[in-house]
A and B are shown apart, each in its own frame.
Chain A
Amino acid sequence: MSRAVLYGFQPPRAPRSPWHRLPRWAVAVGLLTTAAWQPLLAQQPAAPASLAAKPQRPTPVTTAQPATLQYGLAPRELAPGHWVIEGAVDDFGRHNGCNIINTAMVLTAEGPVVINTGPSRLYGEQQRQAVQWIWTSAGGSPQAKGQVLSLNLHPDYFFGNQAWADWPTLALPGTRAGMRAEGPAYADNLYRLCGDWMKGTESTPSKVDATPGTLRVGQRTLALHRFQGHTDDDLVVLDPAAGVAYVGGLVFMNRVPTTPHANFDQWLASLDALEAILKAGNYRWVVPSHGPIHTGLAGLNQTRDWLKWLTTAMATHADAGRDLGEVLHQPAVPPRFADWAAMPAELHRSLTQWYPVYEKRALAR
Chain B
Amino acid sequence: MDAEQPSGGARRSFICWSAAAAAAWSTWPRTVVGQTTDELTGGDPLGSMQWPGLRKQYLGNAPMHFSDAVVVRGPEFADDAMNVPLLVNARALEAVGGGVARIQVVVDRNPVRDVLTFTPHKALPMLAFRIRMEQASPVRAMVQTRDGQWHVGSTWVKASGGGCTVPGITRADGSWVKTLNQVQTRFFYNPVDGSRRLRVRVMHPMDTGLVAGIPAFHVEELKLVDTLGEVWWALQLHEPVSENPLITLELPSQGGQGFRLLGRDNNGNRIEAEVKA
Contact = CB atoms under 8 A, between A and B. Distances in A.
A329 interface: yes
Given A322-B191, A349-B79, A329 B186 contact: no
Interface in A198-248: none
Nearest to A329: B73
Nearest to A317: B191
Name the prevailing secondary structure of the A interface residues: helix
B184 interface: yes
Interface stretch (B82-90, B110-118, B140-148, B207-215): B82-90
A348 B75 contact: yes
Contacts of A345: 76-77
A321 B79 contact: no
Nearest to A352: B79
Interface stretch (A112-120, A277-285, A335-343, A357-365): A357-365
A325 interface: yes
B87 A325 contact: yes
B79 A325 contact: no
B141 to A, nearest CB: 13
A323 B85 contact: yes
B188 A352 contact: no
Given A349-B79, A353-B80, A325 B186 contact: no
Contact of A320 (B74, B87, B188, B201): B188
Nearest to A322: B191
B199 interface: yes
A285 B80 CA distance: 37
A326 B128 contact: yes
Contacts of B248: 321, 323
Given A360-B201, A363-B186, A325 B191 contact: no
A192 interface: yes
B257 interface: no
A320 B189 CA distance: 8
A348 B128 CA distance: 17
A325 B74 contact: yes
B266 interface: no
B130 interface: yes
Given A192-B160, A348-B77, A326 B201 contact: no
A365 B187 CA distance: 11
Contacts of A192: 160
Sorting the interface of chain A by its residue count into under 10, 10 to 19, 20 to 34 or 35 or more gives 20 to 34
Contacts of A326: 87, 128, 191
Nearest to B197: A321
A364 B184 contact: yes
B126 to A, nearest CB: 11
A321 B130 contact: no
A360 B179 CA distance: 14
A320 B160 contact: no
A329 B74 CA distance: 9
A324 interface: yes
A320 B191 contact: yes
A156 B133 CA distance: 28
Given A192-B160, A324-B130, A345-B77, A363 B184 contact: yes
A356 interface: yes
Contact of A352 (B73, B75, B185, B186): B75
B79 A363 contact: no
Contacts of B130: 324
A323 B246 CA distance: 9
A352 B248 CA distance: 17
A348 B75 CA distance: 8
A269 interface: no
B79 A353 contact: yes
Interface string A100-135: 000000000000000000000000000000000000
A328 interface: yes
A157 B86 CA distance: 35
A189 B185 CA distance: 36
A348 B197 contact: no
Interface string A167-200: 0000000000000000000000100100000000
Contacts of B74: 325
A264 B74 CA distance: 27
Contacts of B77: 345, 348
Contacts of A365: 186
A364 B199 CA distance: 11
> Most B CB atoms within 10 A — which of A323, A345, A363?
A323
Given A328-B85, A348-B77, 6 more contacts: A325-B74, A348-B75, A352-B75, A352-B79, A356-B83, A360-B184
11 contacts: A321-B197, A323-B199, A325-B73, A325-B75, A328-B75, A348-B75, A349-B79, A352-B85, A359-B199, A363-B186, A363-B246
List the 9 shortest-distance A-B pairs measured between CB atoms, nearest first: A321-B188, A325-B85, A323-B128, A324-B85, A352-B79, A325-B87, A363-B184, A323-B248, A349-B79
Interface of B: 73-77, 79-80, 83, 85-87, 128, 130, 160, 184-186, 188, 191, 197, 199, 201, 246, 248
